Structure 1
């Protein structure tokens, strides 16, 4: 974490990580992340192997800005190696 705070969902566990923190997500671990409520966050993400995840993040930015619908991203889950799960306790947190 470069600045601010982010919330992470890591295989059933929730954590808040602040500036200077590090999170490692092993392959296959269900996870989610986002800025903590009311807090901007700057994060450096290192992704390997180099699959087409960067386009996924660009599209998520457009979804957040209302320029694209989330449903439009769902058919590309395999392409981006990002699988969207319904995790009620993440949304509630």
Structure 2
């Protein structure tokens, strides 16, 4: 039921049945991927970078920190989200995220609308593991509504994490 495309039916994903994608510093648990929304949970090791600076033209991205702390860029501002914090990033807003310095993070992500993003998340895992070329991510920008941008603010923050 987790990949149901029908908009008027409940979506249930059992933990034991959820697909996971992992790389050396994080594990993504794919929860639901419908036309209305995509949801996944990511656990980040200390020092793990989640996503470089990017924006979406059609989707809002929602973050809920389950435990630990997540450092995020929103526009030109960097903040740390702690356990229990929620953030909604509207379309056309540059954002990025990583585990906060010296912290792990467990985060629930939701995109609305969904746009079939599980294939994108799988691609990210393959790139992080060295099984796919990063050029495939650039080539998929329009399809998955992920548009990467240069952010000197985020680059400076990442140097502090290293």
Name the counterpart of 1:24. Answer: 88
CA distance in 1, matches of 2:113, 2:83: 25
Counterparts of 1:67 and 1:78 in 2: how far apart (Å)? 22
TM-score (normalizing by structure 2): 0.53
Runs of at least 5 residues in structure 1 that lack an aligned partner in the other structure: none
Note the residue ranges of structure 2 that are not aligned, 5 or more in a row.
1-64, 158-162
Off by >6 Å, runs of 4+ in structure 1: none
* Alignment length (residue pairs): 93
**Greater per-residue helix proportion:** 1
| Match of residue 107 from structure 2 | 43
2:126 and 2:102 mapped to 1: Cα distance? 21
What is aligned with 1:81?
145
Query: Which protein has the bigger strand share?
Result: 2
CA RMSD across the alignment: 1.5
Question: What SS does the corresponding residue of 1:15 show, helix, strand or coil?
Answer: strand
Task: Spell out, residue by residue over 1:51-70, the C-alpha distance to the aligned partner (whole angstroms, 9 max, x if none).
Answer: 13232222222222232232
Does residue 67 of the first structure (1) align with residue 131 of the second (2)? yes
Greater Rg by CA: 2
Name 1:2's counterpart in structure 2: 66
52-61 or 83-92, which deviates more: 52-61
